[in-house]
Chains A and B, each alone.
Chain A
Amino acid sequence: MNSKTLGSLERYERAVVVGFYNNFCCPKLVDMGMLPGAIITLLNISPLGGAVEICLRGHYLTIRKSNADKIFVSKVA
């Protein structure tokens, strides 16, 4: 499977969520629509590192890079 993690995306790269590390995702992110099949754009990387800004279903969110590394994505078909 050609999958990467959300944390390894380039700026402004779009991808589709395929799964989670250990099949677990923080409930708050699930509530915001972080689900397999959701389309995600990585918008910004925090200037000091450690966090990324993503666009998920119209939410502009910040999440930690460590969380983003546990979300598997693949290229948008």
Chain B
Amino acid sequence: MNMRNFVLVGNPNCGKTTLFNSLTKSREYVGNWPGVTVEKKQGILKIDKEIFRITDLPGIYSLSFESEDERVPCDFLLHNKPDAIINVVDATNIESNLYLTTQLIETGIPIIFVLNMIDVAEKQGISIDTSALSDVLGVFVVCVSASKEIGINDLKDVIKNFDNQNKNKIKFKSVLEGTPEFDKAQQIVETLSNKGVSCPLVKAIKILEGDKNFIDDIPDNVIDSLDLPEAGMNIKIAKHRYDFIDELVSRCVMRDKNHNHSDFSDKLDKILLNKYLALPIFLSVMFLIFQVTFGISGNFISSFIERFINNNLSNTINNFLVSIDTNPVLVDLVLRGIIPGLGMILTFLPQIAILFFFLSIFEDSGYIARAAFIMDKPLSLIGLSGKSFVPMLVGFGCSVPAILATRTLDNKKDKRLTILLAPFMSCSARMPVYALITSIFFPKNSGVIIFSLYLIGVIVAAISGFILNKTILRGESSDFIMELPQYRFPTFKNLMRHVYDRVRDFIEKAGTILLLASIVVWFTQSYSFDFKIVSDSSRSILGTLGKFITPIFRPLGFNNWRASVALLTGFIGKETVVTTLSILYQTSDLANKLSMDFTPLSAYCYMVFVLLYVPCIATVAVIKKETASIKWTLFSVVFQILMAWLVSCFIFQIGSLFKLSDLILISLILVLILICIKKIRKSGCCNCNRECCDKKCFNNNKNKNKKR
């Protein structure tokens, strides 16, 4: 059947995915920052037995592209020839959104113009004359509010009757018509169409603008026959477009002067981006999240579930299995494999839910983009831009989406470096390990200890970034052009949906991969290599393997095969570390047995190792997919294991010389000294008290040196 294709196109963060979700009844991930969607998503819209295919695309500002996520919509529009474009426009910011529309017109594809967030625009005193807009642009105009589901039926009607109405009402090919630049473009169009190039008008104008991506796309012999564009042409063309937009807006959009359109965001930014307050606020927000997640609420709920599983559930299942005469091997599998393995993991579910609840607030409120703005300077020191901070923050939830989020980065070097560093951000799968170990060894200050682990992850990422940037991934940091979205109050529905999705993912993972891992661990620890049941698990398959690799970890302080084996199984996913430990030690007296094998220091080093080494096979697979190179994937794996080993070895060796409390004190003093030295060096660099990277100062110094 010939299904009609509609494609959602618009600026980043204008609500395309929200609209997509309400049209197709999908549940794609939405958030309040530009770049949530990085790949195309397709869904089906049903209206009275008729079906339509809807495609959701990443947001773009124009048909030029720099990053991978921007390339997707440009390629789709120019090669897939959809039946119509649904151009989603943020009604509160119509002036800037129309720029893309003027380029979409040039594709010759019919357009449905959707004014999203119309309710917010009305509140801000913006009124839009839709019929005038429709007349001038020659497009269908529909007003909707995707998040409040207002006007969705109107849009469905337009989609349904799209064929019956005048197929292409657009009266002109381009808003540039009548300008000298358009005549030049026409000449290129003729050459291109003679050579059979598709969408010649769009490409001709892009070539005229000097867009390298489009010029490289055209065969050399064709390019040679063209007049090469002069510099600054893109400014002239953009000027014509914006002149057209200004005229259109002055005719169709009325603003009530009494409303200040972004009062709330501005006021909030005055505090959150304040010169002195911004960093302390950012850090204390992060600290508070960990305190709440691991401290009060998390532990309370977890211990409740743990007790329930250990006491009630085990006994009930045991009685049940014995009563129906189950094979004793199976009973053993369930009681000593699956229940300790999975049960232990599920006790951490509340903590994971709480962490994702906070991360969702970060994403939905729009604060995540501000965090990137604050962190741009430190990231520029390792050759990245603030944009790389977004994948890293996502990495606190899970490394896999973090690596996918690097698609928004503008160049290959940024992308590779961010992919290498993002796994050092401690993901939620590592949490159970911390929670288990701190509850045994550091019960009083688990929040602080866990926060220090997250900090170590960040510091190691910074140091490795610095080293990599100086060696194999050299290059200037790229431009940092990013839109800061308006703050929005996170909706309860959205928050719950995010948390629910993550919790469901986690349970799914527990029911599949982790269940399988528990069974394998149970099997390999109860049988020897000749498949005989062993009474002492150190002589089992797993025990033999563990004893073989244990010497590697001796310098790190944990000299026992159970701990080493748990790290090995941890490659499947970090939760498996906990699963394995609890199967190998058996839950009832896990705390006592663990404290015999670990000292607090070696337990801390164990957590550091878990923090830094390869997150899981899923992450390795995504790294392979995103870097499209086995060399880089292998490098990242080796690099992470090496860093994990070096850092925990360092901490253990230094820590053995001092007490842990001394160590924390010493590192604090060291940091203070470093900051002081930096301050002194800065003020000593030149006479003015500004940053020494100022060009003027740099030149002054140069001149001074010359005079000498």
Contacts and interface: CB of A to CB of B under 8 A. Distances in A.
B479 A26 contact: yes
Interface residues of A, number: 36
B32 to A, nearest CB: 13
A28 to B, nearest CB: 5
A30 B374 contact: no
A50 B238 contact: no
A29 B481 contact: yes
Contact of A64 (B99, B269, B480, B486): B480
B44 interface: no
Nearest to B60: A31
A31 B386 contact: no
B248 to A, nearest CB: 13
Contacts of B626: none
A27 B99 CA distance: 13
B231 interface: yes
Given A47-B279, A59-B96, A28 B373 contact: no
Contact of B96 (A37, A49, A57): A57
A51 B99 CA distance: 25
A50 B694 CA distance: 10
A50 B377 contact: yes
A61 B479 contact: no
Contacts of B276: 47
Given A28-B479, A31-B61, A44-B269, A60 B484 contact: yes
B482 interface: yes
B273 interface: yes
Contacts of A67: 479, 481
Residue from A24, A29, A31, A67 whose CB has the most chain B CB atoms within 10 Å: A31
Interface in A12-59: 23-33, 35-38, 43-51, 53, 56-59
When A and B form their complex, which 5 residue pairs have the shortest distance between CB atoms, in order from nearest? A47-B278, A48-B377, A50-B377, A31-B62, A58-B93
Contacts of B262: 60
Nearest to A12: B266
Interface of B: 61-62, 64, 66, 92-93, 95-96, 99, 209, 211, 231-232, 234-235, 238-239, 242, 262, 265-266, 269, 273-279, 372-378, 380, 385-386, 479-486, 691, 695
B89 to A, nearest CB: 12
A77 to B, nearest CB: 17
Given A28-B481, A33-B238, 14 more contacts: A27-B64, A27-B209, A28-B64, A28-B66, A32-B61, A38-B242, A44-B373, A46-B376, A51-B373, A56-B96, A57-B96, A59-B483, A64-B385, A69-B695
Given A53-B273, A62-B484, A23 B377 contact: no
Contact of B275 (A29, A45, A56, A69): A45
A38 B279 CA distance: 32
Residue from B66, B238, B269 whose CB has the most chain A CB atoms within 10 Å: B238
Contact of A46 (B232, B239, B377): B377
A57 B95 contact: yes
A63 interface: yes
Contact of A48 (B234, B239, B266, B378): B378
A62 B695 CA distance: 21
Given A53-B484, A62-B480, A24 B374 contact: no
B479 A48 contact: no
B480 A63 contact: yes
Given A28-B61, A62-B376, A35 B238 contact: yes
A48 B483 contact: no
Nearest to A63: B481
Nearest to A57: B96
A63 B483 contact: no
Nearest to A59: B96
Contacts of A37: 239
14 contacts: A26-B481, A31-B61, A32-B96, A32-B481, A35-B239, A44-B373, A47-B278, A48-B375, A56-B96, A58-B93, A59-B483, A60-B262, A61-B484, A64-B385
Contacts of B484: 53, 60-62
A58 B95 contact: yes
B269 A43 contact: yes
Contacts of A69: 695
Contacts of A43: 266, 269
Contact of B380 (A50, A57, A61, A62): A50
A21 B485 CA distance: 29
Contact of A23 (B232, B266, B373, B376): B232
Nearest to B103: A31
A30 B240 CA distance: 12
Contacts of B275: 45, 47
Given A44-B273, A48-B378, A51-B376, A35 B235 contact: yes
Contacts of B485: 60
A33 B99 contact: yes
Contacts of A58: 92-93, 95-96
Contacts of B273: 44, 46-47, 53
A47 B479 contact: no
Contacts of A35: 235, 238-239, 242
A53 B265 CA distance: 13
B354 to A, nearest CB: 28
Given A27-B211, A51-B376, A62 B481 contact: yes
Nearest to B381: A50
Contacts of A28: 61, 64, 66, 479, 481
Contacts of A23: 231-232
Contact of B386 (A57, A59, A62): A62
A48 B279 contact: yes
A27 B480 CA distance: 13
Nearest to B210: A27
Contacts of A57: 95-96, 242
Nearest to A37: B239
A31 B64 contact: yes
A48 B374 contact: yes
A72 B96 CA distance: 21
Contacts of B372: 62
A33 B242 contact: yes
Contact of A30 (B234, B266, B373): B234
Residue from A36, A46, A47 whose CB has the most chain B CB atoms within 10 Å: A47
